[in-house]
Amino acid sequence: MRAFQELVDEAAAADVSGWSFDWLDGRATEQRPPWRYSRLLTSRLPHSPTALDIGTDGGERVLQDGGSYLAQHVGPASAFELIEYFRGPLPHERFARDPHREVAAARRAGLEIVELRTARCRMEFFDIGAVVYTLRKCAWWVPDFTVEQHRARLERLDAHIRTHGVFVAHSTRTLIEANRVPRRRARK
């Protein structure tokens, strides 16, 4: 494995704009949820008269009566092994993005839940550069992250990866499908 400083410098200089994670090929992996979200979308889109793919929260601003909402959300405590390694314990944050709270909010917005599934997916980091790149790309995980400020922790994590061959964390994902319950129309 290349030297710590070389890996860190390379990751610190890498472009983290956009949503491509190709830079991590061969350096980190993330298991995908078993429901194969892309395949679900691909199978349903040809049968839909319209589709919208934006940050619609619960979809209540855009669904017509009888419309469907299908989404894969980040679940609770996603990547917390890595996040808490740098930030320390975050007990309150572990409950954010709770799928049952999301279901309750969807029901309050007039949606009927068709399916709710969660998955815990293994993430593996094979070198410290992959960690630095990921923390730069997902800047909300460790908001104050800099190599300089976190050098001691990075060096300890690098030693762990060199000894064990990997640092393991887990992402969580939630699949939620809901339909807009038709609203009663006012009589004239």
pLDDT band at 185 (very low <50, low <70, confident <90, very high): low
Measured CA to CA, the distance from residue 108 to residue 60 in angstroms comes to 10
> Which residues is 124 bridged to in the sheet?
29, 168
Per-residue confidence (pLDDT) for residue 142, from 0 to 100: 97
Establish if 123 belongs to a structural domain: yes
Establish if 19 belongs to a structural domain: yes
What residue numbers bound the domain in which 107 lies? Answer: 4-180
Non-local (6+) Cβ contacts of 64 within 8 A are 180
171 sits in which H/E element: strand 167-180
SS3 assignment, position 131: helix
Establish if 113 belongs to a structural domain: yes
Yes or no: say if 33 and 119 are a contact pair by the CB < 8 Å rule.
Answer: yes
Phi, psi of 177 (to 5 degrees): -125, 135
Check pLDDT > 70 for residue 104. Answer: yes
Number of domains observed in the structure of the chain: 1
Establish if 187 belongs to a structural domain: no
Proportion of the chain above pLDDT 70, given as a percent: 93
Non-local (6+) Cβ contacts of 186 within 8 A are none
pTM for this predicted structure: 0.86
Establish if 112 belongs to a structural domain: yes
* 50-59, 87-96, 118-127: least confidently modelled range: 50-59
Establish if 121 belongs to a structural domain: yes
Establish if 158 belongs to a structural domain: yes
Check pLDDT > 90 for residue 29. Answer: yes
* Alpha-helix residue ranges (DSSP H) falling in the chain: 4-13, 37-44, 80-87, 99-108, 128-137, 151-164
**Token pair for 37:** 């979200």
* 17-26, 40-49, 70-79, 139-148: least confidently modelled range: 40-49
Establish if 188 belongs to a structural domain: no
Q: What is the pLDDT of residues 31-81, one digit of tens each?
A: 999 999 999 988 988 888 877 776 655 444 767 888 888 899 999 999 999
